[in-house]
Chain A
């Protein structure tokens, strides 16, 4: 029986082996387990045994040849009487070709079968994947709009959506949308119209009762904070009427100017109206500093006219004008807004008969002035009870009121103002 010796796999990584030396020649008898040939593997030179006893009848590979694992390299006849030693030259050539070819073939490029897949089409341009996907869905050419500067680079999904939906609106409609901070997409989906005008948007706003978003300015935020502090003040009111009809008309001198001056002079005789409470102490200031509520557009300022006791009506009027200008131009400084102990708020010019006002923090009190009716004007004083009690306040108000009927005093003020 023929037993074929093959190029063995001798290591876990071996793919082919090189015939180093035949240890047996043709016609030799080989014992089971006896080495027949030396083979060089990827790791070492190893001996290859025969697993059967018999006569080596044919050698199919030359020394030095590289043979793939599994290829026949020799034939053993296990029944020696049948042994017929073949000529060596015949087969090796064929084997060589076969062997070499096989090695080369295996190193050729690999073949794979891939099933059909649909390509994902996306527009050109620099944008997030989400933006591109949305642009593809909505038919927006990102690159084109980026070249025109209409879309930012990189573009995000929000940008693409806004651009797409903005096409539904005319220019004026877009302005309204912006003012009301509306979602373009929502408006389009709600109105279901190809071309949306300003009128459409305004109707949409009314229909849906959409508020306009007006930001709270930093100044207003501070005012709100101050008003909250005012609530901590224990307050009481004194209601009076003063004879403003007696005051002479002087060009450039308003009723407010008169009130500031007379209030400031009165404060000189009542030290508590020039005081401030700070922890355990009262700080009493020598001068009468009066602040006046000034409304510019929708904002409220409380600039301070300083040293009223040492100024005449003209000087006060000038101070007032400067402060109002600064307020209009938002140029008031911290200094312009601080240092007063008493305030005046005049709503007389709006035909208000009478009202009371909230004491700004840090002030002793505030005087709320209504409209002059038949030479008389209603005033409401608010006082901080921590600084001044009812009796003191009553004396102060009475003193103030009397000054309007003090002809000598009024004439003096009039004279100084010229």
Chain B
């Protein structure tokens, strides 16, 4: 592990955390509407996976701000999207759950649990067909592993032999239902092990996630076959802003927070000489500025014009329509 990676981890995880805390505050002020799902506590999985995966297409779920930021999307454009402004990554038409940018091979942001898994398989098929062996990353939560989408997708990926990395973020809760109330076993890699190689990692340890994803990526690209990783993690916040989160005890929350991924990274990074207090302080100040700037940008950005209502429903050159 080199210094540069550790520094990137810290920058992106801290950016993600500060960004999301600020988003929560802006939501409470009424600047952000709808559903806001925060990934606070899960940053190690999101940042570790994106950096470990590197080049390739990424399909994720609706708790995706940190994925998008780690992938390189500008915080101000992501914040503007949350604010529903035209400068947002999806012109203010997608919102928090639908961040897309093909420039970064980033395809959402899907608000239907597990629905993006077949997309990832299809894209992997297409890339392979067109002679590109780069793998595809599909991240999803524990809840998705109980859906038909999941089983259809792993079956197809294994049958068609396409390079998809299935990354399950097991945070133990599907909204308010704990995993053991929805699945016969809580080690979710079991569900995929007859189809593909599987691995379980500590999702609060960004180094572990990074290494596991990097190895899996190498496997899927050399073998041209899928791979399954289960990352054990925890979300500190309720499912969304509308959720009280009272199905979890304060004690459970306290224990989880003691294993905070950012604190863990700081400690291990300094221990191993990969991070310095100086760098950490620099980043802490820097991300505050970046997020402050992102909010200012979002606030000052215009709303989409009325003409935007009908734009992008269909592709423009295809709308030779009489009606």
- Taking Cβ atoms with an 8 Å cutoff, the residues of A that contact B are 6, 8-13, 43-46, 48, 51, 69-70
Contact = CB atoms under 8 A, between A and B. Distances in A.
Given A12-B34, A43-B242, 15 more contacts: A6-B28, A8-B29, A9-B28, A9-B33, A10-B28, A10-B241, A10-B242, A11-B242, A12-B33, A12-B35, A12-B240, A44-B246, A45-B244, A48-B28, A51-B21
A161 to B, nearest CB: 32
B30 interface: yes
A70 B242 contact: no
Contacts of A13: 242
Interface residues of B, number: 14
B5 interface: no
Contacts of B25: 51
B35 A69 contact: no
Given A8-B28, A51-B21, A46 B244 contact: yes
A49 to B, nearest CB: 9
A46 B243 CA distance: 9
A46 B25 CA distance: 15
Contacts of A70: 29-30
Interface string B17-36: 00001000101111001110
A36 to B, nearest CB: 12
Given A51-B21, A51-B25, A11 B30 contact: no
A44 B244 contact: yes
Contacts of B21: 51
Nearest to A5: B28
A303 to B, nearest CB: 67
Contacts of A10: 28, 241-242
A109 B240 CA distance: 33
Contacts of B27: 8-9
Given A43-B242, A46-B244, A51-B25, A9 B34 contact: no
A409 to B, nearest CB: 91
Nearest to B244: A44
Query: DSSP majority for the B interface?
Result: loop
Contacts of B240: 12
Contacts of B242: 10-13, 43
A356 to B, nearest CB: 67
A9 B244 contact: no
Contacts of A43: 242, 244
A199 to B, nearest CB: 52
Question: Which of B21, B34, B244, B246 has the largest number of chain A CB atoms within 10 A?
Answer: B244
A10 B30 CA distance: 9
Contacts of A12: 33-35, 240-242
B287 to A, nearest CB: 15
A44 B34 CA distance: 17
Contacts of A45: 244
B291 to A, nearest CB: 12
Interface in B129-172: none
A72 to B, nearest CB: 11
Question: Which of B28, B29, B34, B241 has the largest number of chain A CB atoms within 10 A?
Answer: B28
A225 B168 CA distance: 86
Nearest to B245: A46
A136 B196 CA distance: 78
A51 B35 CA distance: 20
Contacts of A9: 27-30, 33, 241
B29 A6 contact: yes
Interface string B31-60: 001110000000000000000000000000
A69 B30 contact: yes
A409 B25 CA distance: 134
A9 B33 CA distance: 9
Contacts of B30: 9, 69-70
Nearest to A51: B25
30 contacts: A6-B28, A6-B29, A8-B27, A8-B29, A9-B27, A9-B28, A9-B29, A9-B30, A9-B33, A9-B241, A10-B28, A10-B241, A10-B242, A11-B241, A11-B242, A12-B33, A12-B34, A12-B35, A12-B240, A12-B241, A13-B242, A43-B242, A43-B244, A44-B244, A44-B246, A45-B244, A46-B244, A48-B28, A69-B30, A70-B30
Contacts of A8: 27-29
Contacts of B241: 9-12
B200 to A, nearest CB: 31
Contacts of B33: 9, 12
Contacts of B29: 6, 8-9, 70
Contacts of A69: 30
A46 B244 CA distance: 6
A257 B25 CA distance: 121
Interface string B243-261: 0101000000000000000
B141 to A, nearest CB: 20
Q: Which 4 A-B pairs have the closest CB atoms?
A: A8-B28, A11-B242, A44-B244, A9-B30
A183 B239 CA distance: 76
B54 to A, nearest CB: 34
Interface in B228-284: 240-242, 244, 246
A240 B62 CA distance: 110
A91 to B, nearest CB: 20
Contacts of A6: 28-29
Nearest to A8: B28
A43 B243 CA distance: 9
Nearest to A15: B30
Nearest to A14: B242
A11 B25 CA distance: 13
Nearest to B32: A9
B237 to A, nearest CB: 11
A158 B242 CA distance: 64
Nearest to A9: B30
Nearest to B242: A11
A20 to B, nearest CB: 13
Nearest to B27: A9
Nearest to B246: A44
Nearest to A42: B242
Nearest to B36: A12
Nearest to A68: B30
B101 to A, nearest CB: 25
B262 to A, nearest CB: 14
